[in-house]
Amino acid sequence: MPDLNELLRWSIANSAPHSSDSSQVAQDESLSLRFNPANPDGQTEQRGQTGLSAFHPSDPGVSPVPPIPQPRSDLTPEILDLILGKPDSVTMKEKMAFAVDEGNDLDERLEALDDLEMLVESIDNANNLAVLKLWEPLLSLLKVQNEEILAATCWIIGTAVQNNIKAQAALHLHTPLTPILSLLSPSHSSQTRARATYALSSSLKHWPLTPTALSSNSDEGYLALSSGVRDLDIGVRRKMAFLVHNLVLLHAEGWDTEVPEDVATHILQGRQGQEDVVEGLYRAGVFKELLNVLGERESTREGKKEGEGEGDKGEMEYDEFAMRALVGAIEMDILTLEEKMRVKEIWEKWGKEGRKERGIEGVDEESMGRLLSL
């Protein structure tokens, strides 16, 4: 189905140009009016007595019948582009072609990628990445040696597949996790690692085959999460903790995701014999690392004056996401008794005020507290 922009282009191209030349109207075209006068006794004339009055287009008050409009020859594709702008599909292909050309200026390539990211904010354009065969050249940019290009590429991937299962399916057909996970290495900049985490998170959340994706290539996905939750950069570390929390939360909700018919078969086949994502997180030591980081942070606070060592907002958010993930694991009876007791100890050390500072209060605090009443 054509989009509104395409329909608008067609309507302009097929509209008749305005003209005041009445000679263009056929002079022999006329309107006829059937007139059935009533007799004095109120009876209408019979059909055979009906009179016809002919009106010529030149008669006063008579509007001529306009000719059928023909496609305009004065509107070239270039002029239409100037009036309406290029279709998004054309622009996307042009931006991608420019971005992958290493002979172009770096700043201009980054600008092209930025423009492409804005275009794929539209779910239709995001889905068109597969139709236009743009996933291959986009993913090829994950192999370049420039950190800015890598970060921009991850940003596009994350935006395109976020909450879009059809785009997720198209992405996972290219087995993208290995190149994305490689960007989480400490050898890459913190910005690249943060953007790679965003791409990873968007590709996994709500994706029914997340456990399979994480366990492929000898658990490389799970292991990346395990190391990511203690990344040196708080921005990356916080995003990783948030992702783990979401994976636990979505597991509890049963992965209630509407699946398009064209990807349903692939998903149903892939889910056969698939490991539970929470079990995979535990097996790979992700919960253990979250617990260790929280314990280390509590140890550094001991012996300090009140208010010292509390960390910034990012650290507080990390604590919140980590605790929510751990309590979720307790609810599913994944952790050992010793691990549960360690979580409870940290919870109690925070106290009511500390939990409030970390965004855990009200109903959430009550429900989580009940789960920790071992």
Q: Express each pLDDT in 127-177 by its tens digit.
A: 999 999 999 999 999 999 999 999 999 999 999 999 999 999 999 999 999
Residue 258 has pLDDT above 80, yes or no: no
Kindly give, in sequence order, each residue whose CB lies less than 8 Å from that of residue 373, ignoring residues fewer than 6 positions away.
none
The pTM (predicted TM-score) of the whole model is: 0.77
Give 256's pLDDT tier (boundaries 50, 70, 90): low
What does the pLDDT read at residue 272?
74
- Is residue 202 packed enough to be buried (19+ CB in 10 Å), middle (13-18) or exposed (0-12)? buried
- Is the domain defined by 77-207 classed in CATH 1.25.10.10? yes
The H or E element containing residue 166 is: helix 165-172
Task: Enter the tokens of residue 351.
Answer: 């106290």
Question: For 4-46, how does the pLDDT look when each residue is reduced to its tens digit (9 = 90+)?
Answer: 666 666 666 666 555 545 444 444 444 455 555 555 555 555 5
Domain ranges of the chain: 77-207, 219-257+278-374
